[in-house]
Each structure stands twice: as structure tokens, then as C-alpha cells.
């Protein structure tokens, strides 16, 4: 339950298959040289957002986090993000999930001592990732922590009237006040008897409570909590552990998270993400490299095999903003006409994130 209040179609290069999950992403060398990022050696690009992990975190767990992130923003798994506005906000803020070996280790301390961005709202530790029990309470925290990040970096900014975290500010705050039996700016002792959300972590302020509340509603509606043992285990904090109970007990909250306007995920992630079943052979024939990245006026793209191909540069919501015909193995691309921001380089369904300064 960690929360740090501090303030696109994609098919990757390699299909990673293990005993539980089918994940069409590849683990790359960490491309980020910003202060603090040197603690990470592993990186996965998910719709332009990053999963960063220490070398000691297993590849299986890194890919699991990537798959869950993809499933939560492409919930129907058709290879296209459900809400381009949310993706754009995540990209603008360089949203990411850091994965550390353990809580408070040297790498985690180094990263947060140096990090000054707005894209980190939660972290994962290796011990709380279990690809065989995706999202299961007490076993796998990937769904929770990634939802916290997507909701906090994305939804609170894109839809403030619905998801702003401050008291008396949104549909979310109204629903949470009802769920907690009143507007509590500090933890009541005890909660009113008619409350069904009674989180009692005194380190979690009102905004933190609101982020946790979105998580509980979403996973309840997904059916992730709907078993006798889990319901009993979380009852001291959250009562409507099934979709039916949520709909009947928390009318305001249920109406909010199921409103199609906001395109929140309704289906439970299972740790498998591979739209279209991309094969290794189809992606390895002509890998690409782009540098420098970030880029200013130009960047260079290199390919293993020179051929006539069309390269698209897409903005954060998937719109094509530039089209280039490639012929040579290495070519310099002029980007003087592009505004600063995050773009996707798309060449024959191989995609790379490009940051333009």
C-alpha cells in the first residue's frame, strides 16, 4: 500500500514466454542517463512509458510489470490504448514504474534522492511481484501500484472534476466521503458504523486515501478480490469485495468507475499481453536504433537491413505528425518542425520512444 504523493499501438521486439505468461515485450538496457537512473539496468517500453528495474530483479517479474501496465491502459488488448488523453498525460509526465530489489535499499535511496519528476507515484519491490497470481491481494502488488501511478499521474490531471483528490473537489471526493461515513481529513477512531471504506493508515492523508479508494473500487469491480479468504482479509479496510457488493453498497463510486466517459479498466489483468501474437522472427529481421535520444534538431535511425520503408513519427495520442521514406541503412531525420514532447517512432510495427527537446 505504498503511495508517494510527491509531487501507442505497440508491439515489441521479442516475445517472452514463460510457464505462466505470454508477454510480447523486450527487456532493453536502461536508456535513461538522468541523475538517479543509473541504479537501473533493465528497461521495458510500454506505450512510451517505462518500467525500470535493478539487475537483481528477475526478467520474469520485469516483464510481468510491463504486461500489467499494458493491460490496464489497453484493457481490451487490441494493441491500442483505451484513452489517448490518459496516455498523452502519462507521456508528458514521463510516467514510470521503478522496481527495486527491496524496500529502502541503496538503489531506492539513490533514485529518490536524485529524482525530481512527476511521473512516479508508487514503486514495486521484487518480493511483492508474483506473475502466477496477478493482482491477488497479499501476493502480487503490480495491479495496485501500477493503477496508483496511472490514476494519479493520468486521471487526476485529465479529468479533475471527476478524479481530483482534494476534499469537495470532484465526484471521487464526494463518493469517498460517503464510503467513509463522512469527510474525514484525519483518521477517525473509530470510523462510523455505516462506513464501508475504513482505511486506518495514519501516514496516508486525504489525497492518499482517495488514490487507495480508486484502487479498491476498480479491483472489486474486476472481481480480483472476490473470494472468501480475501474478503475476510481486507474487511478491516474495505468491505464491498465483489462486483455485486460494490454496485449495491457504493452507488456513487460504482457509477464513477463504470462511466464509459473515463474508460477505466473493467477487466482484470492476467499478466498476458501479446496483441496479434507477434513472432520473434517477424520482429528480429530488421531492428532499429535511434540516437541521440533525447534529440534537438535531428536524430539518426539505423537499421540492420537497408530497404525502402515508411517511417511514421506519431504524437502522444497516436496521430501521425511526420512521414519519411527510408532507403539507406543509416539516415538522419530532420525534426526541426516538431514541438518539444514525447513521440513514437513507428517503423513496420517496431516502435521506439523519442523525446524531442
Cα(156)–Cα(177) distance, integer angstroms: 17
SS3 state of residue 202 = coil
Tell me what pLDDT residue 284 has: 40
Tell me what pLDDT residue 31 has: 87
C-alpha 218: how far from chain center: 15
- Pick out the chain residues at pLDDT < 50: 1-19, 278-286
- Domain residues of the chain, as ranges? 1-158, 160-261, 285-356
Tell me what pLDDT residue 10 has: 33
Q: DSSP code of 275?
A: T
Structure confidence by residue, pLDDT tens digits, 328-338: 888 999 999 99
SS3 state of residue 237 = coil
Structure confidence by residue, pLDDT tens digits, 282-337: 334 446 888 888 888 999 998 877 888 889 898 866 778 998 999 888 899 999 99
Which of 151, 133, 84, 176 lies closest to 270 in space, CA to CA? Answer: 133
- At CA 137, angle to CA 135 and CA 139, rounded to 5? 80
Tell me what pLDDT residue 57 has: 98
CATH node for 285-356:
2.60.40.10
Global pTM reads 0.76
Cα(323)–Cα(328) distance, integer angstroms: 16
Tell me what pLDDT residue 145 has: 98
Cα(336)–Cα(228) distance, integer angstroms: 59
CB atoms within 10 A of CB 45: 21
Amino acid at each position: 500500500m505504498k503511495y508517494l504523493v510527491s509531487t501507442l499501438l505497440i508491439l515489441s521486439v521479442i516475445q517472452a514466454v514463460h510457464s505462466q505468461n505470454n508477454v510480447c515485450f523486450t527487456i532493453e538496457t536502461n536508456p535513461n542517463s538522468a541523475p538517479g537512473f543509473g541504479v537501473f539496468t533493465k528497461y521495458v517500453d510500454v506505450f512510451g512509458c517505462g518500467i525500470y528495474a535493478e539487475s537483481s530483479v528477475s526478467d520474469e517479474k520485469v516483464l510481468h510489470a510491463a504486461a500489467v501496465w499494458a493491460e490496464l491502459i489497453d484493457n481490451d488488448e487490441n494493441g491500442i490504448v483505451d484513452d489517448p488523453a490518459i496516455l498523452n498525460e502519462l507521456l508528458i509526465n514521463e510516467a514510470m514504474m521503478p522496481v527495486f530489489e527491496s524496500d529502502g535499499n541503496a538503489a531506492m535511496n539513490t533514485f529518490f534522492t536524485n529524482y525530481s519528476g512527476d511521473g512516479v507515484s508508487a514503486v514495486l519491490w521484487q518480493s511483492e511481484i508474483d506473475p502466477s497470481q496477478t493482482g491477488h491481494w497479499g501476493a502480487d502488488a503490480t495491479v495496485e501500484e501500477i493503477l496508483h501511478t496511472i490514476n494519479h499521474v493520468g486521471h487526476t490531471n485529465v479529468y479533475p472534476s471527476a478524479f481530483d483528490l482534494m476534499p469537495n473537489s470532484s465526484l471521487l471526493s464526494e463518493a469517498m466521503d460517503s464510503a467513509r461515513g463522512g469527510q474525514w481529513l484525519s483518521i477517525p477512531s473509530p470510523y462510523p458504523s455505516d462506513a464501508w471504506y475504513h482505511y486506518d493508515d495514519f501516514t496516508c492523508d486525504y489525497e492518499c486515501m482517495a488514490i487507495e479508494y480508486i484502487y479498491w473500487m476498480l479491483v472489486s469491480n474486476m472481481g480480483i478480490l472476490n473470494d472468501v479468504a480475501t474478503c475476510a482479509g481486507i474487511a478491516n479496510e474495505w468491505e464491498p469485495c465483489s462486483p455485486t457488493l460494490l454496485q449495491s453498497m457504493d452507488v456513487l463510486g460504482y457509477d464513477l468507475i463504470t462511466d464509459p466517459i473515463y474508460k477505466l479498466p473493467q477487466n482484470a489483468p492476467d499478466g498476458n499481453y501479446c496483441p496479434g501474437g507477434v513472432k520473434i522472427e517477424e520482429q528480429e529481421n530488421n531492428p532499429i536504433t535511434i540516437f541521440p535520444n533525447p534529440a534537438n534538431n535531428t536524430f539518426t535511425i539505423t537499421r540492420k537491413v537497408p530497404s525502402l520503408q515508411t517511417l511514421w513519427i506519431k504524437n502522444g495520442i497516436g496521430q501521425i505528425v511526420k512521414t519519411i521514406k527510408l532507403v539507406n541503412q543509416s539516415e538522419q531525420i530532420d525534426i526541426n518542425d516538431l514541438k518539444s514532447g514525447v513521440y513514437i517512432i513507428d517503423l513496420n510495427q517496431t516502435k521506439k520512444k523519442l523525446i524531442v527537446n
